[in-house]
């Protein structure tokens, strides 16, 4: 289905957001609203292994979350970098920036 599922849990002081399904323009707005502001010193892992499709708005959402967390002094990791985003990441030349966020 083209739905995006979001599961949140806290484990060892780590805020884990597991995404599955489509990370596309149709879904990112709702996801952005659902993500809470990471706080200073917090560790956030965005699990993307079950993301089935993604577009540039999905990529924009991930980078927005990471920027916001960084601004708040939180640590954010992407685990793993979604394959469905690989080509978009290449097109935008974001490999270096995003690889810094690999868990």
Q: pTM of this prediction?
A: 0.74
pLDDT beyond 80 at 71: yes
Give the C-alpha separation, 12 to 86, whole Å. Answer: 30
Q: Give residue 1's pLDDT band: very low, low, confident or very high (50, 70, 90).
A: very low
pLDDT beyond 80 at 99: no
Find all residues with CB under 8 Å of 93, minimum gap 6, and list them. none
Q: Give residue 77's pLDDT band: very low, low, confident or very high (50, 70, 90).
A: confident
Average pLDDT, the chain: 81
Q: What mean pLDDT is predicted for residues 66-70?
A: 84
Give the C-alpha separation, 73 to 11, whole Å. Answer: 19
């Amino acid at each position: 289905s083209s739905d995006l599922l979001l599961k949140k849990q806290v484990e060892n002081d780590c805020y884990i957001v597991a995404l599955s399904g489509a990370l596309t323009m149709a879904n990112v707005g709702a996801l952005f609203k659902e993500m809470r502001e990471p706080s200073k010193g917090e560790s956030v892992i965005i699990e993307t292994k079950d993301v089935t499709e993604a577009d540039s708005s999905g990529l924009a959402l991930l980078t927005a979350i990471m920027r916001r967390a960084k601004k708040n002094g939180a640590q954010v990791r992407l685990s793993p970098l979604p394959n469905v985003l690989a080509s978009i990441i290449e097109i935008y030349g974001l490999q270096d920036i995003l690889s810094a966020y690999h868990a």
